[in-house]
Amino acid sequence: MSPTQRSRPVDARQKTVALFSEPENGRYRLREDVSFGESVHIPEPFGFALGTGALQPC
């Protein structure tokens, strides 16, 4: 999967970050939600945890 096939929207009102992956037929098959302050795993080829502790709600 190429890096461009992932989306990481931030919802400041809900204080969440979502990672969408595995696009198929115009939709993403997987979604991982984390609250601000938690980490979201960014899979290979990058392979790291993205911390969200610095994000601030509106």
Domain membership flag for residue 14: yes
Is residue 7 a contact partner of residue 17, using CB atoms and an 8 Å limit?
no
pTM of the model: 0.69
* Average pLDDT value for the chain: 84
Q: List, for residues 11-33, the tens digit of each pLDDT value.
A: 888 899 998 888 899 898 999 99
What pLDDT is stored for residue 6 in this prediction?
Answer: 62
Query: In terms of residue numbers, what domain contains 38?
Result: 3-51
Place of tokens 């204080």: 15
Range of lowest pLDDT (11-15, 46-50, 53-57): 53-57
Is residue 55 a contact partner of residue 20, using CB atoms and an 8 Å limit?
no
Our count of domains for the chain comes to: 1
**Side-chain-side CA neighbours of residue 42 (13 Å):** 16
Domain membership flag for residue 32: yes
